[in-house]
Structure 1
Amino acid sequence: MTFGIFLLNFSGSQITMRHRAALSEALNQTNQGDLWRTLRLMLGFTVVMELTGTMLLASLWVPQMGWSSGLYYSFFHAVSAFNNAGFGLAADSLTGYVGNPLVNSVISMLFILGGLGFIVVADMLNKRRFQEYALHTKVMLIATVVINAVAMLAILMLEHGNPNTLGALNEPSDKLWAAWFQAVVPRTAGFNTVDIAALYPSTAFLMMGLMFIGGGSGSTASGIKLSTFVILLLATRTFLRQQERPVIFGRSLSARIVTKALATTIISLFCVISGTFLLAMIEPGDFLNLAFEAVSAFGTVGMSRGVTANLSAAGQVIIMVLMLIGRVGPLTFAFLIANRPGERIRYPDGQISVG
């Protein structure tokens, strides 16, 4: 969508108000001046981060592979990481660098920054103090730190004794790097430094949850988005405390925001459940592996437990449709629902038993 707006602008074509409204909604901007400023920042920040990642990775891979292959290898992985694509040039992704601090830190920082969302990055560049950040920026930063730390500790505990993953690593530092990388990568990055098919079922299920949550709004990541997950948690806490509205950082959230988060999540769950059901119906194999495949496709993560190549043509179509819906569908549906014309008729309140 952003690229299309740039093409229209450079060609001199007029951008309709509907297109401006859609882009402003996706980037959380209130006026056209802020919108164009954000678009320029998105382009500049992307170029800077990908070139920086290329230079850092080149310091390792150029001495190993030579200038031509080393630079190409570095640039490919920097672009793939920042854009949360997860494609690697090696058949085993990055498993050969499971304990390498440079590869683990650079690749993970690239896809974390790409997954935060450009509106968060723009806010951080324009302001210096945490107290001055917008509410969305505060929520994303805190939630990203918390979910990454919790996921890392969980994977470290679950896989510590697995002889095919963390248990096969002798150095404690290698175990920590592997746990860190696999904790942050499911939120749509797609790389791996351990064999995903060898993970315990409990770890695979945890990673399915992380893949479903995804990254930040207006980012290169997919999933329902981390901010949506936080809103659902806040809404649940509000109900349990018998409060009227969710409150965070001294700000209350409107019913419109909660409804949009709920609609996005329900649509996403419906797509994942439907895709998993269809795969289980037409494909042989372990149910967990098929469900993992469906969630990974919807979150556009790209990780697999080894069944992708064995899917039939119909199964591949299901995976492709899930990837397309995951990248475009939930946000589009939520946007349409949240921006429908107001109701002209107010109906009497009704009661339906819940719980």
Structure 2
Amino acid sequence: MTRSGLARAVLAGFRHPAQVVAAAFAFAIAAGTALLSAPFATADGRPADLLDAFFTATSAVCVTGLATVDTADHWSPMGQVVILALVQAGGLGIMTLATLLAVLITGRLGLRARMLAQAETKTMQLTGLRRLIGQVAAFSLTAEVITAAVLAARFSAGYGEPYGRAAYLGVFHAVSAFNNAGFALWPDSLVRFAADPWICLPIATAVIVGGLGFPVVFELVRSWRRPRTWSVLTRLTVTITVLLLVCGTLTITAAEWSNPATLGALDRDDRLLAGFFTGAMPRSAGFNSLDIAQLHPSSLLITDALMFIGGGSAGTAGGIKVTTLGVLAFVVWTELRGESRVNVGRRRLGEGVQRQALAVALLGLTLVAAATYLLMLFTPHRLELVLFEAISAFATAGLSAGVTAELAPHGQVLIALLMFIGRVGPLTLFSALALRERTRHYELPEERTIVG
């Protein structure tokens, strides 16, 4: 196949993103299930239960972190390496696809490896495509290596772990953090490190950077001194990310400050650290330094909202994305001001983008509501805990109040399906809406109806 033919094939794949993305993720899950079902993957050397293998593979590929068995005790070192490879493949695949989609749609992210994907010509430079994928991979690996080095040094110097074990722990948790997966090698996740800033802060930083995404980070590095030149994607992602981090930290810290089962058992400085970590993780990370089941109901509600929103559109985080929330917020603000056009900074948002944001948000709400209803039929747990689990699965957050492991098999299959839809669905839905807009050559008579 010639280069031009290959470029057309790549572009054709983007014209039908739902089939391509869904098939790729399904294949990875199937391969992961087969590997985790083998005797070498379990600690006792016996073949793993097929449902446990399928659930774990789905959670890893969809970079969620929910589990039906303990990662450290149930899986052998080889099984853990398989999980780590699935997390890396899922996270890198998500970031690459989202970045390519962002460039294909917007055509102006200021990337040195810019691809010419203008709507009029429908063309793409194959060399630019290769260079961009290489840059995404290099960015991901660099962030993971830096995080792993810091964690490994801390595990070795602070906890007396042998160098090999410390390096393994550092790499595992660095990859899990940057890809917003949340798999940890301790039964209590990171609760034992709640007061250790050398563990919590590097992991939180990797989670936040991974959730921002390559296009946003690259633009920040290139023009952080000139915020007026930022694209709408970067402007919305950075602004709303900061607001959510601040609001999440303040509200959860305030609600849990005197709770003896969470922050109340820590010193003042440690409470601030644990409050920040707990407020940052609902971006889709899945790690926890506090017992989720012991959180105050108000903290669970705030965490629900943060998980549902998620992270950046071209990052490894899940949820409906901060850009979706930003677009809807500007739509509401424009309506309240009585204006006819939605403007963000010096740019006007097209009507298609507004419709896409509304569709993603409403479909997400519908899916979470339907899944919560079905899960209520399978478990005696309270509504707030079941809702928490459903949102965590849809948003690929991985935080758990202990409901998932106690579900019946059909309930766990539903959670796995929700993770798959939540991971693949928003990306394919947005790409399908953005890349398959149709121009109507006639207009119907306008009629206004009562709203509200």
Normalized against structure 2, the TM-score is what? 0.73
3-state SS of the aligned residue for 1:56? Answer: helix
Say if 2:438 is the partner of 1:341.
yes
Q: 1:19 corresponds to which letter in structure 2? A: G
Cα shift readout 1:55-112 (whole Å, capped 9, x = no counterpart): 1111111232111111000100000000000000000011111111111110000010
Once residues 439 and 339 of structure 2 are traced to their aligned partners in structure 1, the CA distance between those partners, rounded to angstroms, is 26
Root mean square deviation of aligned Cα: 1.8
Match of 2:288 in 1: 192
Identify the match of residue 305 of structure 1 among 398, 401, 406.
Answer: 401
How many residues are treated as equivalent by the alignment?
Answer: 344
8 A Cα contact 1:38 1:119, kept in partner:
no
* Residues 378 and 411 in structure 2, CA contact (< 8 A), matched pair in contact too: yes
For 1:60 and 1:335, how far apart are their aligned partners in 2? 42
Q: Deviations over 1:181-232 (max 9, x none)?
A: 0101001000000000000111001100000000101111110000101111
CA deviation after TM superposition for structure 1 residue 350, in Å: 2.2
Match of 1:311, as an amino acid?
L
Secondary structure of the 2:377 match is helix
Partner of residue 317 from structure 1, selected from 388, 408, 413: 413
Q: How many angstroms apart in 1 are the aligned matches of 2:447 and 2:413?
A: 42
Q: Residue 13 of structure 2 aligns with which residue?
A: 19
Distance 1:212 1:124, change over 3 A: same
Specify the code of the residue in structure 2 equivalent to 1:161. S
SS in 2 for 1:28: helix
Please, which of 122, 131, 135 is the counterpart of residue 228 of structure 2? 131
Q: What is the identity percentage for the equivalent residue pairs of Structure 1 and Structure 2?
A: 37
Q: How does 1:94-243 map to 2 (within 5 A)?
A: 94-129=190-225, 130-169=227-266, 171-243=267-339
> 1:40 matched to which residue of 2?
134
* CA positional deviation for 1:14: 6.8
Residues 132/195 of structure 1: CA separation in 2 closer, same or farther (3 Å cut):
same
> Hey, what's the Cα distance between the residues in 1 that align with 2:409 and 2:449?
44
Alpha-carbon contact 2:385-2:403 (below 8 Å) kept: yes
Change (3 A) 1:343 1:14: closer
The 2-side partners of 1:141 and 1:67 are apart by 37
* Shift in Å, 1:337: 2.8
Contact kept in structure 1, 2:372 and 2:387, CA below 8 Å: yes
Q: Distance in 2 between matches of 1:337 and 1:50?
A: 33
Between 1 and 2, higher relative CO (CA 8 Å, sep ≥ 6) is seen in 2
Letter in structure 2 aligned against 1:152? T
Q: Measure the CA separation in 1 of the matches of 2:9 and 2:210.
A: 27
Query: Structure 1: where are the runs of 5+ without partners?
Result: 1-8
1:324 & 1:254 partners in 2: Cα distance?
Answer: 30
Equivalent position to 1:51, from 137, 140, 145: 145
Q: What is the aligned partner in structure 2 of residue 85 from structure 1?
A: 181
The question of whether the paired residues in 2 share the 8 Å contact of 1:38 and 1:122 is answered with no
Q: Look up the equivalent residue of 1:149 and give its one-letter code.
A: V
Cα distance between partner residues in 2 of 1:248 and 1:95: 40
Which runs of 5 or more residues in structure 2 are unaligned? 18-96, 108-115, 117-123
Matches within 5 A, 1:253-272: 253-272=349-368
Partner of 1:274: 370
* CA–CA distance in structure 1, aligned partners of residues 320 and 166 of structure 2: 36
